[in-house]
Structure 1
């Protein structure tokens, strides 16, 4: 489970607009050659998934793309805030990608260390619950165009630590407000297997004795529903303003867990993005 700030940063960086000279007509994805972007701003996120407390923190991210200029269907490679992502298929009909990233886990105190995926989630409210250790994540994701909207999906598997699995699905609804401003609204859902849900929302007998929370066995099922509003406005070919609002509601065992203080949570990000092409 990526922290909300990192997830917001990934959502912002994923659709990097094309750099100064622009891609050929009909091109989908990064422009040919080397390109990328840098994101600078601030995010407001829950201390951990299910927390009633919110923290504000700076966000600094970036991503570099490489794509051979051999046609609009050419594969691309990206490295940065989303980890390492290979996209072998990207057309107007849809996209498909494979990725390697980091799940920062969670701590049970207020000393959240910086990781490649951002500050680790956690709170002193979880004292006695112990640490959910960091792990690498492998993922497969894609989208399918359905007229003006896109059906999106992702499968994420933890390599070590809890070894949990997440499946995500959403529907991206773009709205062109102005020639240089676009709002994308994406409702979505997330399903989690028992290993993931137990690691983040379950309470073992040992954890119960150490923390005071009641014992709780968490199972697989629909973990959350979310609605994302992503606004992008271009000041020039290189500079963009990004504003993102994510409304998130925990469901099932994630909502029923004794460590869940609030099932409805809101995250936000406001940032400037600079894009370049080499």
Structure 2
């Protein structure tokens, strides 16, 4: 029986949200569960990640963990939810929803919208003149629900190709991102230890990159940054690993590390301080 595994989700995205699957979220494979049954993990840990995509500074925060699998194919894995529609062990596919976290001058936060929106007015000197924070003076990107789908193909029981396409990012709700990857699943390191490896790339539309990496003329006036017209195409490449240590059938310590490097137009943005970011997390999870 195939190990339960995640639909492809970069740890950089997982680390910036209220409920994250970076630690052990493992989306169910297509193997059917008994009717009316469920499988659920909850836990808490800590994550260290870049303050926002391309930031030089890092921040550490609490990492809630949530994963739910129902026998009808519904699943929740951190910030993602979807339905498995595939009926063969080799192919997984279905609709997918994901919450895009809010980004303001403090970076990418775990709020689902709410208070604290920055209010701007014309001033004699750009806000960036008072701060080394490159997000100072840039507009808030509000949290958004994105929709799309996923498709995974098993080359062998231990290797699979993964993909997901999501639309609706940015304040205009029109940004699109495609993620492609390959995973080595559940490499055994003994009776209680499992290691999973992941590598991949993501592509973003022009509107997506404009929202997260572009600097308009009005943004330039308030932030002091040069105007930058971000184009679409290859956005980043990533490589990561996840280690699970099962203490018992119910308790698990799960840790992960992922390096992500911005590429293409995103790499050239004046918002980017460091193109390569590292995300590290560890958490304790309980299985119901």
When normalised by structure 2's length, the TM-score is 0.80
Instruction: Return the match for 2:236 from 213, 224, 238.
Output: 224
Match status 1:10 vs 2:21: yes
Q: Distance in 2 between matches of 1:44 and 1:60?
A: 13
Bigger share in strand: 1
* Higher mean C-alpha deviation, range 125-134 or range 236-245: 125-134
Give the SS at the match of 1:115: coil
The match for 1:141 is 150
Match status 1:93 vs 2:90: yes
The match for 2:44 is 40
Q: Distance in 2 between matches of 1:57 and 1:114?
A: 13
The match for 1:72 is none
The match for 1:212 is 224
When normalised by structure 1's length, the TM-score is 0.83
Gaps in structure 2 of 5+ consecutive residues: 1-11, 118-131
Matches within 5 A, 1:100-111: 100-109=97-106
Q: Distance in 1 between matches of 2:276 and 2:19?
A: 17
Q: Where has structure 1 moved over 6 Å in runs of 4 or more?
A: none
Gaps in structure 1 of 5+ consecutive residues: 18-25, 68-74
Q: Distance in 1 between matches of 2:133 and 2:48?
A: 18
* Contact 1:216/1:257, CA 8 A, preserved across alignment: yes
The match for 2:69 is 65
Deviation at 1:29, TM superposition (A): 6.7
* Higher mean C-alpha deviation, range 97-106 or range 3-12: 3-12
Instruction: Return the match for 2:192 from 172, 180, 193.
Output: 180
> Cα RMSD (Å) of the superposition?
2.7
* Contact 1:5/1:43, CA 8 A, preserved across alignment: no
Deviation per CA, 1:112-144, whole angstroms, max 9, x where unpaired?
46239xxx9xx9431111111221110211211
The match for 2:59 is 55
Match status 1:233 vs 2:236: no
| Closer/same/farther in 2, CA of residues 168 and 113 from structure 1, 3 Å limit | closer
Deviation at 1:213, TM superposition (A): 0.5
Q: Distance in 1 between matches of 2:221 and 2:141?
A: 17
| Closer/same/farther in 2, CA of residues 16 and 200 from structure 1, 3 Å limit | closer
